[in-house]
Structure 1
Amino acid sequence: MRVAIVTESFVPSANGVTTSVLRVLDHLAARGHEALVVCPGPAPERYAGFPVREVPSFSYRGFRAGMPSPTLARHLDGFAPDVLHAAAPFALGAQALMTARRRGIPTVAVFQTDVAGFARKYGLSATAPGIWRWLRTVHSHADITLAPSTATLRDLAVAGIGRTAWWGRGVDAETYHPRHRTSEEGRALRRRLLGDGRMLVGYVGRLAPEKRVERLAALPPEDVRIVVVGDGPSRDALRERLPGATFLGRLDGEELARAYAVLDAFVHTGTHETFGQTLQEAMASGVPVVAPAAGGPLDVVADGETGYLYASEDDAALAGAVRLLAADPARRARMGEAGRRRVLPRSWTALGDALLGHYAAVIDLAEARAARLVASFERPVAG
């Protein structure tokens, strides 16, 4: 199978869209398929043995955004894909879906970013209805739209976006593992971060307004030490709002896995997550999680079993959930174990195979459409 992946984000950008695209490419390579990546530049020339092609782009609030241009069509025509995968389509992905429709290429769109919700957080609430109208237009050109949570599927239905199905996110439970907590490096990191505090609470992710990391200021300083992992446009402002926190910057690989594992609790603060990949990574690391009862976390977190869900706009409820964990180390241990058991079946291999099934289904659908069209031309005219 020849798969063209057109993505609004790719390395070196670190976010949920990039992560899922990388895992899809890894799976395509492991299963022996061919792939092409088209993305905003700058980007590496290859990934997992597959060529990566850049399109013109610009920066906005720390994001690299691809601009529609004739370059995209040339890349697609040169590759001649069997199926097009549009990752979080908005601008570049919209052009890709429309181009594929004109060329009769089957398409799968993956909805990953609540763009309208982010617009509201950036003070652009008036644009949200227009954004949803645009998203309806974009996704109307896809043969199927895949969403990562039941809450997102409901949002898409309310917005009038049809032909949808669930496709979740996997987690690397071997990399994100509780063993890092008891390793020599893990124990040293924990001693350095915890100091004389009672509990180590962390956040991992992009530091941007829509993530609302400043809400960590509501946590009881007598109970916790705060650790923030990540980077982004809000970094300097957050250092001022959270003067007692330790900022580790962006981490990857084993360093990131170790940072998760040494925590006593993981707290997520944003309320517009279509999934919540960092929650899964924390759970795989054996760490209980606290997250808003909205969007993707509703599917990820078993409230009272693997952590707590709090009323999404209630900072006092957030702090109360952390206090419950601070007061009961045995509860933290139970929830951490339960969280790891919950995510162990969610491998990228299983989800990658499910995605290949969606690819095959839209290819079959396109072939059936073509056969009907041919038959309509061959049908004898009466009289």
Structure 2
Amino acid sequence: MFKAGPPLAQQIQPFRRFPIIMRIMMVSESFLPRTNGVVNTVMRVARFLRDTGNEVLILAPGLSGSRDFEGIEIVRIPSVLVPGIQNTDVAFTSTNQIAKIMRKYQPDVVHLASPFILGERAAKAAKQEGIPTVGIFQTDVAGFAVHYGLAFAMRAADAWVGRIHRMVDVNLVPCSDMDAYLRGLGVENIHRWTRGVDHALFSAQNRSG
């Protein structure tokens, strides 16, 4: 189980007073010390947003984790580890509690990284507060259900994913298959966000021979 921590809204420090481009709240279903594709993407996007002059806050499960990522503040949500499913935390909070955090942080936009449990609450809170949302769909939740012997939950997972992404203002997907999947769930306003190459890591200058 989780340990009690300070009220979530009190975890946020006052925002900086100098001009910034945008104030962005990133909501992730998992984050460090967990390691998975969603965490890797959130780290890279958070770095990019910070380095291009934006103020970033990460909202993530796990009170035991760090509250700072390379100078980016993390607000941790009480959560439990799902038995039998590696690297998966379920956050326990309410839409109203997330809305309080949003009112204190005052984000210009909310970035939802593979929203499911925490992301669903954040999507509802953002809608309630009139804050635009961007949803990233990159996790095949129904496929995971089958993989972990929960095939009976596939339809429920599909319905839940569709409900979340229909609430979101802009949905981003990495490939045509995921585009088609969301459209099949009645989701609109979908745009392609293809994967890139890190030129610092993969450069012709580094090749051998």
**Residue number among 55, 58, 73 corresponding to 1:37 in the alignment:** 58
1:77-92 to structure 2, matched below 5 A, reads 77-92=103-118
Check whether the contact 2:171–2:191 (CA below 8 A) recurs between aligned residues.
yes
TM-score with structure 2 setting the length: 0.81
SS of match in other structure, 1:95: helix
Identity %: 36
- Map of 2:71 onto structure 1: 49
Q: How far apart, CA to CA, are the structure 1 residues paired with 2:92 and 2:170?
A: 24
1:106: Cα distance to partner? 0.5
- Map of 2:142 onto structure 1: 116
Instruction: Say if 2:193 is the partner of 1:167.
Output: yes
1:96-135 to structure 2, matched below 5 A, reads 96-135=122-161
**Residue number among 17, 24, 29 corresponding to 1:3 in the alignment:** 24
SS of match in other structure, 2:74: strand
SS of match in other structure, 1:85: strand
**Residue number among 33, 44, 49 corresponding to 1:23 in the alignment:** 44
Counterpart residue identity of residue 166, structure 1: R
1:128: Cα distance to partner? 0.7
RMSD: 2.0
SS of match in other structure, 2:123: helix
**Residue number among 125, 141, 144 corresponding to 2:170 in the alignment:** 144
Check whether the contact 1:7–1:89 (CA below 8 A) recurs between aligned residues.
yes
1:182: Cα distance to partner? 5.6
1:178: Cα distance to partner? 8.1
Deviations 1:26-79 (A, max 9, x none): 111111111111001133222232211000111112222322335433322210
SS of match in other structure, 2:201: coil
Check whether the contact 2:166–2:186 (CA below 8 A) recurs between aligned residues.
no
Q: How far apart, CA to CA, are the structure 2 residues paired with 1:59 and 1:176?
A: 35
Aligned length: 183
Question: Judging changes above 3 Å, is the alpha-carbon distance between structure 1 residues 11 and 176 closer, same or farther for their aligned structure 2 residues?
Answer: farther
Check whether the contact 2:137–2:172 (CA below 8 A) recurs between aligned residues.
yes
Counterpart residue identity of residue 64, structure 1: D
**Residue number among 151, 157, 166 corresponding to 2:183 in the alignment:** 157
Flag structure 1 segments of 5+ consecutive residues without an equivalent. 184-383
1:172: Cα distance to partner? 2.0
**Comparing both structures, which one devotes a greater share of its residues to helix?**
1
Q: How far apart, CA to CA, are the structure 1 residues paired with 2:68 and 2:97?
A: 18
Between 40-49 and 65-74, report the one with greater CA deviation.
Answer: 65-74
SS of match in other structure, 2:196: coil
Q: How far apart, CA to CA, are the structure 2 residues paired with 1:170 and 1:20?
A: 11
Greater relative contact order structure (CA < 8 Å, 6+ sep): 2
Q: How far apart, CA to CA, are the structure 1 residues paired with 2:192 and 2:175?
A: 7
Question: Judging changes above 3 Å, is the alpha-carbon distance between structure 1 residues 117 and 31 closer, same or farther for their aligned structure 2 residues?
Answer: same
SS of match in other structure, 2:47: helix
SS of match in other structure, 1:4: strand
Q: How far apart, CA to CA, are the structure 2 residues paired with 1:170 and 1:124?
A: 33
Question: Judging changes above 3 Å, is the alpha-carbon distance between structure 1 residues 4 and 65 closer, same or farther for their aligned structure 2 residues?
Answer: same
TM-score with structure 1 setting the length: 0.45
